[in-house]
Amino acid sequence: MNTTPPRLLPRTEWLVLLTLAGIQFTHILDFMIMMPLGPQLIRVLQIDTHQFGLLLSSYTFTAAISGLLAATYIERFDRRKLVLSLYVLFMLATLCCGLAQTFSQLLIARALAGAFGGILGAMVQTMVADVIPFERRGKAMGTVMAAFSLSTVAGVPLGLLLANHIPSLGWRAPFFFIVALSLVIFVIGYRLLPSLTAHMHQQREGTIFQQIFLVARHPQHLKGFAFMALMMLGGFTVIPYIALYMTTNVGLPESFITLVYLCGGTATFFTSQAIGRMADKKGKLTVFRWIALASLIPILVTTHLTPIAWWLVLINSTIFFVLVPGRMVPAMAMVSGVAPPQVRGTFMSLVSSVQMAFSGLASLIAGLIITRSPTGQIEHYNVVGYLAVGCTILALLVAPALRVATAQPAR
C-alpha cells in the first residue's frame, strides 16, 4: 500500500490549505464568539454566571468526548467525505444555537456544536498531515492555525458588530453569520478537497476498541498525548483570565480588551505563518525550543502586571499572543508526524480529545487557584503563571522524545 501523501499541484495545494483553514476558522469562531456574548446572553436569557460557564464548558467537554468516539470510525471513511459530512452537522448545530429560545435549548445546541467542531479540528489537522510532506508541514500548519488569529481579528469583532446592530436578531446574529459563511466554505470544499482513502486499505486486526487501544498505548503516541497535555496546561491556565486581570488589577477599561485581542490577533496572523516557514527551514524541534523558552517571559510578565502605562501592557500582550499560540505551530507539526498515515486519523482524534480535555482542566485548575479579594482584585494569578511556566518546561523536556513515524505501530 502506498502511504505517501498524494501529490498536488502547488496552486491546488495552496487552495486546499486555504479551504481547510476556512473550516478551522468557522469552528474556532463558533467557540470564541460565546465569550464576548456573555453580557447579552446573561441579560436576555436571564441566566447567572454559573449557567453561562456551563454554556462555555459544554462545548469543550463534548468536543473531548466526541474525539474519543470518533476514533472508533475515523479510519473507515474517506477523509473528504467525513470532513464534509461533519461540517454539515456542525452547521446544523450552529443554526440551532441561533434558533434556541431557552437556556436548555442553547446548552444542548452548544454541546452538539462542540461535538462536531471538535472532530472537525482533528480532521483538518489530519488532512494537512496527509497531503503535505513533513518537511513542508510547518508552513502548512502555520497557515491553518492562522485561522485562530483571523477569528480574533475579524470574526469576533464582526460577530459583535452584528449582535449590536441588528436588534431583531441580537445575540443570535453571529450564529447565523457563521452558518452562512460555513455554507460558502462547504461549497468550495466540495469542489476542492481531495479524496483521501489510502488509510482505508490497511488490514487491521481485532475489534475497533482493540485497534484504538493499540493506537492509544503505543509509546510514541503516549509521549504525544503527554506533550499536548502539557502544552494546554502551559497556556490555558493563563489565557482565560487575562481580560479579567487587566480590568481589575491593572485598571484598564473593558474597551481596551478589544484592542488587546485586535493587536495580538493581527500580529499572530502574520507571525504564525513565518514561524511555520522557520520550523521547516531550521527544524521543528529547534524552533519550538526557541519560541517556548521566549514565551516564558510574557507569561510571567502578564501574571505579575501592576497598573502601568497602557502602551506597555499592549506591547506585552501582543508579544504574549505571538509567542504562546505561536509555539503551537511547530508543536502540532511535530505531533502530526508521530503516527503513521494508516492510524493518523485515530491518533489525531485522540490528540484533539486531549487538547479539549486539558484546556478545560487548565481553566478549572486556574479557577481553583485564583481568588478575589474583598475589593474585587484578582489574587494568586502569579501562582498560575508559575504553573504555566513549569508545564512549559516539562513540555520542553518531552519534545525531544517525539519521533516521526516510519511504520505502523507495533501490535
- pLDDT, mean of residues 250-279: 80
**Spans of all domains in the chain:** 10-193+208-401
Rounded-to-integer distance, Cα 84 and Cα 96, Å: 19
The residue with greater pLDDT, 334 or 138, is 334
Which of these, 112, 111, 117, 114, lies nearest to 83 by C-alpha position?
Answer: 117
Q: Does residue 411 register a pLDDT over 60?
A: no
pLDDT, position 303:
92
Least confident range of 252-261, 313-322, 385-394: 252-261
pLDDT at residue 268, rounded to an integer: 80
Q: What would the grid cell of residue 118 be?
A: 471538535
Confidence of residue 333 (pLDDT cuts 50, 70, 90): confident
At residue 161 the predicted structure's pLDDT band, cuts being 50, 70 and 90, is confident
pLDDT of 176 > 80? The answer is yes
In this prediction, residues 296-306 reach a mean pLDDT of: 93
CA distance 35 to 183: 23
The Cβ of residue 297 has, within 10 Å, a number of other Cβ atoms equal to 14
What is the mean predicted confidence (pLDDT) over 204-222? 71
Binned at pLDDT 50, 70 and 90, residue 196 comes out as low
Mean pLDDT, rounded, for 322-337: 86
pLDDT > 50? residue 3: no
- Whole-angstrom distance, CA of residue 395 vs CA of residue 390: 9
* 220-261 per-position pLDDT tens digit: 888 989 999 999 999 888 887 787 788 788 888 866 777 887
Q: Residue 410: pLDDT above 50?
A: no
SS3 166: coil
Predicted local distance difference test score (pLDDT) of residue 219: 83
56: pLDDT strictly greater than 80: no
What was the pLDDT predicted at 16? Answer: 82
Kindly report the pTM of this predicted structure.
0.72
Domain range 10-193+208-401, its CATH number among 1.20.1250.20, 2.40.400.10, 3.40.50.1100, 3.90.1150.10:
1.20.1250.20
Q: What's the chain's average pLDDT?
A: 80
